[in-house]
Amino acid sequence: MEELKNYYRKIAKYSSASSLLYWDMQTYMPPHAGPYRAQVISEISSYAFKMSIDDVLGKMLNEANPENDIDRAIIKVGKKDYEKYKKIPPELFEETMRTATISEQEWQYAKPTGDFSKVKANLEKLVELNRKIADILGYEDEPYDALLDQFEPGMKAKKIEKIFTPLREFTIQTLEKIEKEGKNPPLVNPKIAVEKQKKFSEELIKYLKYDLNKGRLDVSAHPFTNPIGLNDVRITTRYIEDDVKDSIYSTIHEFGHALYALSIPEEFYSLPIGSSASYGFDESQSRFWENVLGRSLAFWKGIYKNGIIDILPELKEHTVEDIWRWVNEVKRSYIRTEADEITYNLHIILRFEIERALINGQLQVKDLPDIWNELFEKYIGLKVESNTIGCMQDPHWYGGSFGYFPTYSLGNIYAAQIYQRLREEIEFEKLLEEGNFEPIKQWLTEKIYSKGRIYEPEELMTLVTGNPPSVEPFMNYIKEKYSKVYEISL
């Protein structure tokens, strides 16, 4: 068994090197270094991939003698991964990695102008490569399911559709009622210098107890979290002078991801069970910390009471209730990462429908801007004037991630269901007002983080809350919260 674990630890070291190179590419790498960096990342990642499908590993998995339940979980999850990815030819994996890295670099340069022609060719190639991977992995109903399963094990597109259809209807109805009947939040939104925002974000992560001995906060075009290796999980944010909410909630969101990664048992590191249960579960934690906790009145009372607000006197001149209503403002908007809790899911549903059609062959890449603009106006009610704020605003497709987007809304749904259970067992609001996050972290660690990837999402949710995933707790959470924010009955 120890031989098997050591083999996985060796793979993890190569993956760690690749992750560090990717983090540098997104933060500090000189622009002209891009093409060579793509070669390096793809080669190292491909080497790690080849090790993960080597016959040697298959033999060790079959011959390992588990001594306890953890060992049995390692073998179970390891075999599932091995059997799945053994199907993919290493040359296809390397080509996909190389194309994705180059494509994402192209996206970074082309996004400011919204010139889709500069990213179209490699995006077409990525779609075709992902279709090949889907065919190789196999599926029952549609190719998209094979890719979705890589991010949310056990999930199917038809099941997502059944969840998203009532969610879309509920969201649009709620949005329209708020717009017609709700009492508008106060106008706050001052211009705040980047240096002040930076200081606030730094104090915020200290307040939340992000361990800077095991991570760091940097800046990138699109905020992200990157687990580099053992005790090294890095986050980024961004600063916009006339939108301080963006930096505040980008920072808290990424903190949620990092907390999950850093709270998984150290002995699980590098092993098949040493990550989050799924991307949806991972997102549930970033959305929990960002929205359920970070946009609550109790949290902002703690920010005022503990003096963190002093860094931003432009906000301090407003009452805590006004700030709370302001950070929960519901408004149709173009940018997903800046969207409020209610309209956010419309952004995800749109992306799910598009990428599903792309992978299933019902939509061509050349038609992506047009279908984006059409659906955006239909669901969100805004006319898109530029690809920069349209189909080129996110890096996911240009980095080859198809099947990822639905996990964001699943994260919202999971977070609300987890919150419903958590508040039954601990004094949530009281702790937030005190700025005491440790009991909350301990509860989440015991119920979720300590399990790593031992359980698949549906099984873990049932263990945590007593019920399988459901959209009802999220709808109830929205009704309860926004009835208070907008002083109406939802």
Going by the DSSP 8-state scheme, the letter that residue 448 receives in this structure is T
Place of tokens 């093409």: 35
Q: How far is it, in rounded angstroms, from Cα 403 to Cα 290? A: 23
- Return the pLDDT at 188: 85
Main-chain dihedrals φ then ψ at residue 367, nearest 5 degrees: -95, 0
Going by the DSSP 8-state scheme, the letter that residue 229 receives in this structure is E
Q: Which residues lie below 8 Å from residue 9, measured CB to CB, with a gap of 6+?
A: 270, 271
Q: What is the pLDDT of residues 383-419, one digit of tens each?
A: 999 999 999 999 999 999 999 999 999 999 999 999 9
- Spatial contact of 464 and 418, defined as CB atoms under 8 Å apart: yes
Query: What is the pLDDT of the chain when averaged over all its residues?
Result: 96
Is beta strand 225-229 parallel, antiparallel or unpaired with respect to 217-219?
A: unpaired
Place of tokens 């209807």: 169
Q: Which residues lie below 8 Å from residue 360, measured CB to CB, with a gap of 6+?
A: 142, 143, 144
Main-chain dihedrals φ then ψ at residue 234, nearest 5 degrees: -105, 145
CB atoms within 10 A of CB 163: 19
- Return the pLDDT at 201: 97
Q: What is the pLDDT of residues 233-256, one digit of tens each?
A: 999 999 999 899 999 999 999 999
Would the pLDDT of 286 be above 90?
yes
The token pair at 145 is 């399911």
Of residues 106, 142, 152, 254, which has the active-site annotation?
Answer: 254
* CA 207 to chain CA mean position, Å: 22
- Spatial contact of 287 and 465, defined as CB atoms under 8 Å apart: no
Give the global pTM. 0.93
As to burial, measured by CB atoms within 10 angstroms (0-12 exposed, 13-18 middle, 19+ buried), residue 176 is: exposed
The token pair at 100 is 């994705």
Start-to-end CA distance of the chain, whole Å, equals: 56
Q: How far is it, in rounded angstroms, from Cα 300 to Cα 309? A: 9
Residue 254 appears among annotated catalytic residues: yes
Would the pLDDT of 339 be above 90?
yes
Strands (E) in 73-139, as ranges, are: none
Q: What is the pLDDT of residues 379-390, one digit of tens each?
A: 999 999 999 999
- Spatial contact of 137 and 146, defined as CB atoms under 8 Å apart: yes
The token pair at 54 is 């080597």
- Return the pLDDT at 3: 96
Q: How far is it, in rounded angstroms, from Cα 426 to Cα 27? A: 39
Q: What is the pLDDT of residues 22-70, one digit of tens each?
A: 999 999 999 899 889 989 998 999 999 999 999 999 999 999 999 999 9
Kindly tell me the number of DSSP H helices and DSSP E strands found in the chain: 21, 3
Q: How far is it, in rounded angstroms, from Cα 445 to Cα 463? A: 13
Residue ranges of the alpha helices (H) in 208-333?
244-263, 279-287, 297-305, 313-316, 320-327
Residue range 95-109: mean pLDDT, rounded: 92
Residue range 277-289: mean pLDDT, rounded: 97
